[in-house]
């Protein structure tokens, strides 16, 4: 290799772009997470929001188990009473999802989770 060719190769190596830190990958990751969450919760989240009288929100729906968050113990008690009085049957019928169990847990949604 001639000295000029070697010098050109060095210039090409020096001129390549370094990996610049950007938020592109983080935005793509967030988009995938939101899509996965929407697919996971599906129509049962919409049915839940429409039917349930108590302040609560769907956290996840996986394997037939619906996990729901409530802000405090009084909301948990009211939701439990509503579900035991036939609310779970209404939700399962309208959502058309294989619902095995509804798990209620205290959970304050983060500001970016609120819809």
pLDDT of 19 over the 80 cut: no
Question: Of all residues in the chain, what percent carry a pLDDT higher than 90?
Answer: 25
The pTM assigned to this predicted structure is 0.61
Residue range 42-115 forms a domain whose CATH class is: alpha beta
Mean pLDDT score of the chain: 84
Sign of torsion, CA 93 97 98 100? negative
Give one word for 24, left, alpha or beta, with left for phi > 0 and alpha for psi -120 to 50. alpha
Arithmetic mean of pLDDT, 93-99: 83
| pLDDT tens-place string over residues 50-94 | 899 888 988 888 888 999 999 999 999 999 999 999 998 898 888
Judged against a pLDDT cut of 70, whether residue 114 lies above it is answered with no
Out of 5-9, 57-61, 63-67, 110-114, which region has the weakest mean confidence (pLDDT)? 110-114
Quote the pLDDT of residue 112. 57
Residue 107 burial (C-beta neighbours within 10 Å; 0-12, 13-18, 19+): middle
Q: Of the ranges 9-13, 20-24, 73-77, which is most confident?
A: 73-77
- Cα(112)–Cα(69) distance, integer angstroms: 15
């Amino acid at each position: 290799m001639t000295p000029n060719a070697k010098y050109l190769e060095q210039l090409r190596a020096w001129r390549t772009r370094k990996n610049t830190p950007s938020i592109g990958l983080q935005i793509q990751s967030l988009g995938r997470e939101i899509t996965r969450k929407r697919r996971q919760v599906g129509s049962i989240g919409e049915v839940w929001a429409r039917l349930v009288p108590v302040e609560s929100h769907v956290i996840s729906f996986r394997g037939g188990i619906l996990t729901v968050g409530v802000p405090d113990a009084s909301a948990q008690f009211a939701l439990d009473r509503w579900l035991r009085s036939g609310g779970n049957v209404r939700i399962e019928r309208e959502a058309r999802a294989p619902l095995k169990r509804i798990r209620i847990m205290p959970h304050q949604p983060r500001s970016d989770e609120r819809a």
